[in-house]
Amino acid sequence: MKRGEKPFPGRYPVAQGEAELLRDADRDNGWVISVRGVPQSYLDLDDPTHLDFEYMRLLGDVVDRLKPGPLDALHIGGAGCTLARYVAATRPGSRQIVYELDELLVRLVREHFPLKAVRGLKVRVGDGRQGLASLPDASDDLLVLDAFSGAEMPVALASAEFTAEAARVLRDDGVYLANVADGGGLGFARRLAATLAESFPHVLLLGEPGVLRGRRFGNLVLAASRAPLPVAELTRVSAGRPLPARCMDTAELARFSAGHRPIRDGDRVAAPVPPPAVFGRS
């Protein structure tokens, strides 16, 4: 896309099937990237600090409360690189790597939502787990897992073995953030919480009360670290959002995940898939 040109709404082939670029009628330069009918990213090209999706705002709330200054960050799952753009805007000087498996999706984003203007950001086409394994110990401040195939989280990125690699790559005060989608009894989220607790002594969960009560399918954010997390601040901030969220601390999460085994490589477990009505499909 040439300088001054705007993205063009439409449908485009990607490795996962078909992506659609949708213009936001309420914001002059707001865009949704949807893959197979599932919204993957929201981008405001005029304001990268605008986080439209509720779960993304929760991720941003955690990022805002990390140590001051630039961050070394790794993102597994990219799509439009919304959070990476946010970090670049709010933490100038940050160095970030995004791993995105879908090469055609990366090309589409590069063409319509230029990435070269995002300072310190490198986008690599490839498997995020393999990319993580190639990184040195204690090399990052932040690791974000936000990877989906359509509406389904790859289970290989939810295992204890993957989580141990994440812990290895993070510095002592580094934070691991994971976006997980679940509903009903939240069985998958409970097992993922148990998985993170094996590698990190401090784990918290942020989520909309209706999702936590099993009333609807939705996104939950898990944060984990070797260092204490800002539970009190996140509790206050998330409760004051237009769509309030609840914050569970480490002790609450231990009760939440009690009786649920950590996920291991090779376990016969499937990530939850949302009901068709969630994204207006039938």
pLDDT, tens digit (0-9, with 9 covering 90-100), for 154-197: 999 999 999 999 999 999 999 999 999 999 999 999 999 999 99
Q: State which fold the 48-262 domain adopts.
A: Rossmann fold (3.40.50)
**pLDDT value of position 63:** 98
* Sheet containing 202-207, strands listed edge to edge, beginning at the edge strand earlier in sequence: 121-125, 95-100, 72-76, 140-145, 170-182, 218-225, 202-207, 246-248
Over the chain, what is the mean pLDDT? 93
> Can you tell me which residue has the tokens 């009333």?
215
Can you spell out the DSSP letters for the chain? --TT-----EEEEETTEEEEEEE-TTSTTEEEEEETTEEEEEEETT-TT---SHHHHHHHHHHHTSSSS--EEEEE--TT-HHHHHHHHHSTT-EEEEEES-HHHHHHHHHHS-STTSTTEEEEES-HHHHHHTSPTT-EEEEEE---BTTB--GGGSSHHHHHHHHHHEEEEEEEEEEEEE-TT-HHHHHHHHHHHHH-SEEEEEE-HHHHTTSS-EEEEEEEESSPP-HHHHHHHHHTSSS--EEE-HHHHHHHTTT-PPP-TT---------GGGGT--
pLDDT beyond 80 at 3? no
**pLDDT value of position 151:** 74
**pLDDT value of position 5:** 65
**pLDDT value of position 41:** 95
pLDDT, tens digit (0-9, with 9 covering 90-100), for 50-81: 999 999 999 999 999 999 999 999 999 988 99
Domain locations in the chain as residue ranges: 48-262
pLDDT beyond 50 at 105? yes
Q: Which of 279, 277, 269, 278 is nearest to 188 (CA)?
A: 269
**pLDDT value of position 8:** 82
pTM reported for the whole predicted model? 0.94
